[in-house]
Amino acid sequence: MPTPSRVVVCPAEPGPLRIDEIALPDPGPHQVVVQQFASGICHSQLHQMHGPRAMPQLLGHESTGTVVAAGSEVSHVREGDRVMVTWVPRRPDLGRRPNPVALELADGSTAVSQGVFTWADNTIADEQFIVPMPDDVATDVTAIIGCAVMTGAGAAYHTAGVQQGDSVAVFGVGGVGLSAIVAAAVIGADPIIAVDLSDEKLEFAKRFGATIGVNASDGDAVEQVRALTTKEGELTFIGTPVAGVDYAFDCIGLKQTMEQILPAARPGVLGVRTGGTAVLVGVPAANVELDARDLLITEKKYIGSIGGSCSPERDFPMFIRWYKEGDLDLDAMVTARYELDAINEATDALTAGQISGRSIIQL
């Protein structure tokens, strides 16, 4: 039978978010209905809210909850199971692509999602986006594993393949950046340099494994990173000192930070080793201009990371283990909590840069 739900709707026309009361349909063969415990509030939704759209949008893509109903073809979870909702397929079926959810609203219009929607007390999603969750972990802070943790930690662990002893710089230490720092610390990277505009955020990042903080408002962030990582007695192909990190991560997506991570990466030494890697993790807000000469002569790499190159079915148990063992302090990373009715207050705070870690909706 249909499931009543209160869902956040981003209207087609500019304006505040609203909450609609609707009825979710019975699940199709490959769908799951989830009563939610909590949902993360991600910067990605700000891009949707502030960008153009032809029709109303359903937002949110990381949460935890309990299965209310499951379709006839769903075999990995059943009614009553605790689960996590994410936007990356847990085990992609190359022969079947999940359709975005579309719901009829009270005014007769249709709202669509980009795959899943979690800013709601109940949601419905394709089983590809539903991952089992153990019964012995918290159901609130674990909601951010489905995007923030996966995206940041996976970028270091999988996309970049950071190794013990590698040097790392993370530009932007919100929830995603902090997760990248956690993964680098678990791996044993050193140093782990956090780069942000606030001394308070930089000090906070040290709780998650950052060893050095660079305040970008105190001068050129790239030069500060390079000064911290200069290798005495080593010169590049063109005779300049070797300075920079093995891996520089942009977890923001602004033009400035996207252009900073390449010069912050270590140059190679011809005939000895190739250069470092710049990793774009944040959703880009603009196009960038890169120094192609620097890329060529120093043999650096500039790569992208989407969803941390993660497989939720493989990686979520690892992140939960980190949490249980104390390596991933989700309780500290979640720094703000909101009720569903305060969603506009929550997104305003995120837009204003007032969230030091990650905020969640508690349902």
Position 51 scores a pLDDT of: 81
Residue 110 shares a structural domain with residue 154? no
State the residue range of the domain holding 157: 149-307
When pLDDT is cut at 50, 70 and 90, the band that residue 258 belongs to is: very high
Question: Are residues 340 and 232 both part of a single domain?
Answer: no
Contacts (Cβ under 8 Å, ≥6 apart) of 171 = 177, 195, 196, 216, 221, 248, 249, 250, 251, 252, 257, 260, 261, 264
- Same domain for 289 and 163, yes or no, is yes
* CATH code assigned at 128: 3.90.180.10
315 belongs to a structural domain: no
Tell me the mean pLDDT in the region 338-351: 96
Backbone phi and psi for residue 355, each to the nearest 5 degrees, phi listed first: -100, 115
Residues 126 and 48 in one domain: yes
**What pLDDT does residue 261 have?**
98
The percentage of the chain sitting over the pLDDT mark of 70, rounded to a whole number, equals 100
358 in any annotated domain: yes
- Asked if the structure places residue 65 within a domain, the reply is yes
Q: Which pLDDT score, from 0 to 100, does residue 77 have? A: 97
User: Are 133 and 82 spatial neighbours (Cβ–Cβ below 8 Å)?
Assistant: yes
Both 72 and 155 in one domain: the answer is: no
Indicate if 268 and 295 belong to the same structural domain. Answer: yes
Asked, for residue 275, whether it belongs to a domain, the answer is yes
For residue 226, tell me if it sits in a domain.
yes
Asked, for residue 165, whether it belongs to a domain, the answer is yes
Average pLDDT of the chain, as a whole number: 94
Q: Which of 38-52, 93-107, 188-202 has the lowest mean pLDDT?
A: 93-107
pLDDT at 70 over 90: yes
Please indicate, yes or no, whether residues 205 and 288 belong to a single structural domain of this protein: yes
345 in the same domain as 273:
no
Q: What is the pLDDT of residue 148?
A: 97
Do 162 and 285 lie in one domain? The reply is yes
Q: Is the pLDDT of residue 322 over 80?
A: yes
Q: Is the same domain home to 199 and 299?
A: yes
pLDDT (tens digit, 9 = 90+) per residue, 273-306?
899 999 999 999 889 999 999 899 899 999 999 9
Dist CA 259 CA 102 (whole Å): 38
157 with 102, same domain: the answer is no
pLDDT tens for each residue of 76-101: 999 999 999 999 999 877 678 888 88
Q: Is residue 67 part of a domain?
A: yes
Is residue 143 assigned to a domain?
Answer: no
Number of domains in the chain: 2
Residue among 107, 144, 121 at smallest CA distance from 333: 144
| Same domain (yes/no): 44, 73 | yes
> DSSP string spanning 61-121?
--EEEEEEEE-TT--S--TT-EEEE-SS-SS--TT-PPPPPEEE-TTS-EEE-SS---SBS
Helix 43-50 / helix 343-351 crossing angle, nearest 10 deg: 100
